[in-house]
């Protein structure tokens, strides 16, 4: 598996508050709906359910990222309908009066394809880290 990590982003909420905020993803849908049209267009069609995120892209179609593990300061999303096995971890830990949050992606791709699609996967995990930091 190849592993990609986003840069940490500091948010003003404690890890316990983030646990509560990310316990049910449906509460996050309004944040997407409130984004300006150009920002929403960059994300594509995204829908939140209680325990999953459904992303619909023209290239791949609908991919569901479902919570497969949840514990304080961490949750793991497992991709369903993905062309390759993929996991996205969102990790947050105390940092001063707030939290530091970042994303990690584990994806199974052949070694020879990593130089070709690695930059795109790095950009995707950066976007996920920023997405959850902005929703905090």
Please, which pLDDT band fits residue 136 given cuts at 50, 70 and 90?
low
pLDDT at 5: 94
Q: What is the pTM of this model?
A: 0.85
Here the tokens at position 43 are: 């994300």
Residue 103 CA to residue 38 CA, distance in Å, equals: 23
pLDDT digits (tens, 9 = 90+) for 87-119: 999 999 999 889 999 999 999 988 888 888 888
Q: What DSSP assignment string belongs to the chain?
A: -EEEEPPPEEESS-HHHHHHHTS-GGGGHHHHHHS-HHHHHHH-EEEE-SSEEEEEETTTEEEEEEEEEEETTEEEEEEES-SS-EEEEEEEEEETTEEEEEEEEEE---GGGHHHHHHHHHHHHHHHHHHHHHH-
What is the per-residue pLDDT across 41-75, written as a single tens digit (0 to 9) for each? 766 788 889 999 998 877 778 889 999 999 999 99
pLDDT band at 36 (very low <50, low <70, confident <90, very high): confident
């Amino acid at each position: 598996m190849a592993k990609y990590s986003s840069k940490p982003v500091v948010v003003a909420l404690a890890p316990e508050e983030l646990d509560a905020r990310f316990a049910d993803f449906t509460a996050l849908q309004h944040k997407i709906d409130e984004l300006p049209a150009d920002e929403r267009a960059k994300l594509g069609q995204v829908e939140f359910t209680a325990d999953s995120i459904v992303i619909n892209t023209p290239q791949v179609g609908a991919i569901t990222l479902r919570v497969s593990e949840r514990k304080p300061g961490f949750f793991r999303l497992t991709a369903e309908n993905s062309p390759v096995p993929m996991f996205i971890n969102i990790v947050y830990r105390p940092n001063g009066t707030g939290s530091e949050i970042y994303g990690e992606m584990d994806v199974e791709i052949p070694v020879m394809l990593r130089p070709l699609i690695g930059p795109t996967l790095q950009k995707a995990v950066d976007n996920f880290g920023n997405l959850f930091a902005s929703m905090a």
